[in-house]
Amino acid sequence: MGIMERMRLDGKVSFVTGGARGIGKAIATAVAEAGSHVAIVDMDIDEATKTAHEIADTIGVKAIAIQADVTVKEEVDAMISTILDTFGKLDVAFCNAGICMNIPASEMTAEQFRKVIDINLTGVFLTSQAAANVMLKQGKGSIINTASMSGHIVNVPQPQCAYNASKAGVIQLTKSMAIEFAKKGVRVNSISPGYIGTDLVLEAPHLKVLIDQWNAMAPLGRLGRPDELQAIAVYLAGDTSDFTTGSDFVIDGAFSCF
Ligand code: NDP
């Protein structure tokens, strides 16, 4: 069988948190195009339902929407139960939901700091742990966490200490879980995107005014697009990446190289 066929995900079951829009939607669409059934998990159930319908109607796989806040363990557990009740198994988990706050470190409140860590790091822990507990029983599964180039570099000029710390945490959490599960068939990797033109960036008034400055610093001179993360997502979800675990894939147009 050729490589393109071996990369297909026919019959697999995946979920994507933060899957209603942006990077998560691009990932969900990509794994569906490769043949996986998919659960779109988001706080925003209306948008998640729209995305699930779009995927089911245009691609033909089964797609469902589930409302869950990744910071609430009971909601994460309920989300896993819905997936198992619907599909009977779970092959691929994309723990992708995340937020950014740009507040100087000297002014950030404990509550603001905790909120970013809670969604971006604890949320990834809770969703990847819940997924892993199903996959460990199955003896197979692939978990892919969305980190960021901000886990490697300090972005400027905007102040975002909590975000940077949370994403560095996601990279180490990923490696730690990969080591614990390596001999049990469960792989854990992360994707670290550079600046990508999604709502998180384009719709935030304090961020969109910085785009020209970022582009001036960027070796490629532009933002990335969500679709430019699709191939790595399909690769990590599928069986051709069976030797790939504990890795972080920086997809940032060389932004973090200097
Ligand atoms: P978006 O804001 O476009 O999408 C994020 C999605 O996550 C939204 O649908 C949001 O729902 C959902 N979400 C937020 N909080 C929770 C929660 N507690 N539980 C469940 N879902 C939640 O962001 P992006 O697509 O740009 O970002 C996706 C991931 O990629 C994030 O982890 C981000 O940090 C990371 N990333 C983004 C980069 C970029 O430049 N865009 C660069 C590097 C990494 P709602 O709208 O209802 O809040």
Which residues, listed in sequence order, are joined to residue 37 by a DSSP beta bridge?
13
Q: Catalytic: which of 167, 190, 195, 241?
A: 167
The answer to whether residue 208 scores a pLDDT higher than 90 is no
Residue 169 has pLDDT above 90, yes or no: yes
Q: In what order do the strands lie in the sheet with 37-42?
A: 63-67, 37-42, 13-17, 92-95, 141-146, 186-193, 248-251
Is 132 within 8 Å of 178 (Cβ atoms)? no
Contact at 8 Å (CB) between 141 and 134?
yes
Active site residue 148: yes
pLDDT at site 206? 85
Instruction: Give pLDDT, residue 207.
Output: 86
Residue 200's pLDDT band (boundaries 50, 70, 90)? confident
CA–centroid distance, 3 to ligand 1, in Å, is: 31
User: Could you report the per-residue pLDDT of 209-251, keeping only the tens digit for each?
Assistant: 999 999 999 999 999 999 999 999 999 999 999 999 999 999 9
| % of the chain with per-residue pLDDT over 70 | 100
pLDDT at 205 > cutoff 90 = no
Distance 183 CA to ligand 1 centre (A): 31
Per-residue pLDDT at 203: 87
Annotate 224-235 with DSSP letters as a single string.
B-GGGGHHHHHH
**Separation between Cα atoms, residue 217 and residue 49, nearest integer Å:** 38
Which residue in 21, 12, 61, 62 sits closest to 41, CA to CA? 21
Pocket of ligand 1 (CB under 6 A): 17-18, 20-24, 42-44, 69-71, 96-99, 119, 123, 146, 148, 193, 195-196, 198-201
Q: Is 235 a catalytic residue?
A: no
- pLDDT at res. 154: 98
CB 251 within 8 A of CB 232: yes
Domain ranges of the chain: 3-251
120-159 pLDDT, tens digit each? 999 999 999 999 999 999 999 999 999 999 999 999 999 9
Can you state the percent helix, strand and coil of the chain, rounding each to 5? 50, 15, 30
Look up 167 and say whether it is catalytic. Answer: yes
Residue whose Cα lies nearest atom 1 of ligand 1: it is 200
Catalytic residue among 25, 36, 163, 241: 163
Q: Which atom of ligand 1 is nearest to the CA of 147?
A: 44
Average pLDDT over residues 35-39: 99
Ligand 1 test: best mutation among 41, 43, 74, most atoms within 8 Å of CB? 43
* pLDDT for res 28: 99
Q: Assess contact for 70 and 97: CB atoms under 8 A.
A: yes
Cβ count within 10 A of residue 228: 15
Q: Is the pLDDT of residue 35 over 90?
A: yes
Q: Domain 3-251, what architecture?
A: 3-Layer(aba) Sandwich (3.40)
